[in-house]
Chain A
């Protein structure tokens, strides 16, 4: 099955490249944001916390958010090329991909809003711990774990 999957028509390659490139950039953006958010979580110095909060927000907004769209557009493109539109019962791995892509996208959107407002409040308050930033950190972590599971499902194709 894996060998058959590896030998695919040439016109599937570009949509797949768009999808995979978007997916790895999305994971990279989320990873960068999570690292910055955890570094800022327990910082005593307000300047440190504010700087990390801003970095996380920018990584989410300027890397993860556009990458999500690239991944999603690539996914629909390759879905259509592979003819899954005509299949009544989709395999499990495709379902996992859809659930994580859509659910993770919603988490990403909420995280960006919370991270943006949280970073602004943190800067205004002089570095007092922000609940919004902590909620955003948890959501981004969940999204990152979800996408790692999705990468495993999309490549390993369980079921």
Chain B
């Protein structure tokens, strides 16, 4: 295997980590939607810690290794249209992901606070946070952007 092949393999494994985090967050969001008790919701958010690690590895890995691949390859340049489009999609996905995190971190913190206070009964504010349409829309947007990123990577329009 040449150096380029190693970079490509690691780039795709980073993409795998990124998608894995999105799948995990989707499961947490879908499961949380059906829960009412703060202890149940708090427990479900423990899963998302692994997602936080995967999203960090995946997002940094895809960008750094992707740019490195473009620099290493004679066939592509970093300023090629499809690579710039991919970087823009990546940046948009990171921003929608960050905003999604803000919504659901508030739900997690509220659930933990209620459990800490010994109030393990359904709470309207917590229910509104875990069933937030804004959070769901932002997460859906992140998923769509990452799928679009994958499409651009495979089709390489203009290359």
Q: Which residues of A contact B78 (CB under 8 A)?
A: none
A2 touches B20 (CB 8 A): no
A28 touches B19 (CB 8 A): yes
B2 within 8 A of partner (CB): yes
Q: Which residues of B contact A35 (CB under 8 A)?
A: 24, 47, 50-51
A145 within 8 A of partner (CB): no
B75 touches A51 (CB 8 A): no
Given A6-B75, A158-B1: A17 touches B154 (CB 8 Å cut-off): yes
Partner of B155, one of A13, A32, A39, A158: A13
A111 within 8 A of partner (CB): no
B35 CB to nearest A CB, Å: 9
Closest chain B residue to A32, Cβ basis? B24
Given A35-B50, A51-B40: A156 touches B23 (CB 8 Å cut-off): no
Interface string of B19-39 (1 = CB under 8 A from A): 111111001000100000001
Given A31-B23, A31-B54, A55-B27: A20 touches B150 (CB 8 Å cut-off): yes
Given A21-B147, A58-B27, A63-B27: A51 touches B12 (CB 8 Å cut-off): no
Closest chain B residue to A38, Cβ basis? B50
B74 within 8 A of partner (CB): yes
Given A55-B47, A59-B27, A63-B23: A155 touches B8 (CB 8 Å cut-off): yes
Within A38-64, the residues touching B (CB, 8 Å) are: 39, 47-48, 51-52, 55, 58-59, 63
A158 CB to nearest B CB, Å: 5
How many A-B residue pairs have C-beta atoms within 8 angstroms? Tell me: 105
Cα-based distance from A156 to B27 in the complex (angstroms): 31
How many chain-A residues does the 8 Å CB contact rule pick out? 37
A25 within 8 A of partner (CB): yes
Cα-based distance from A21 to B19 in the complex (angstroms): 9
B8 CB to nearest A CB, Å: 5
Residues of B within 8 A of A (CB): 1-2, 4-6, 8-9, 11-13, 15-16, 19-24, 27, 31, 39-40, 43-44, 46-47, 50-51, 54, 73-76, 147, 150-151, 154-156, 159
For the complex of A and B, 8 pairs with smallest distance between CB atoms = A28-B23, A156-B9, A24-B19, A31-B20, A28-B20, A35-B50, A156-B5, A155-B9
Residues of A within 8 A of B (CB): 1-3, 6-7, 10, 13, 16-17, 20-21, 23-25, 27-29, 31-32, 35-36, 39, 47-48, 51-52, 55, 58-59, 63, 148, 151-152, 155-158
The 29 listed contacts between A and B (C-beta, < 8 Å) are: A1-B2, A2-B2, A3-B73, A7-B75, A13-B155, A17-B150, A21-B147, A23-B16, A24-B15, A24-B16, A24-B150, A27-B19, A28-B16, A28-B23, A28-B24, A31-B20, A31-B23, A31-B24, A32-B23, A32-B27, A35-B47, A47-B43, A51-B43, A52-B43, A55-B47, A63-B27, A148-B16, A152-B9, A158-B5
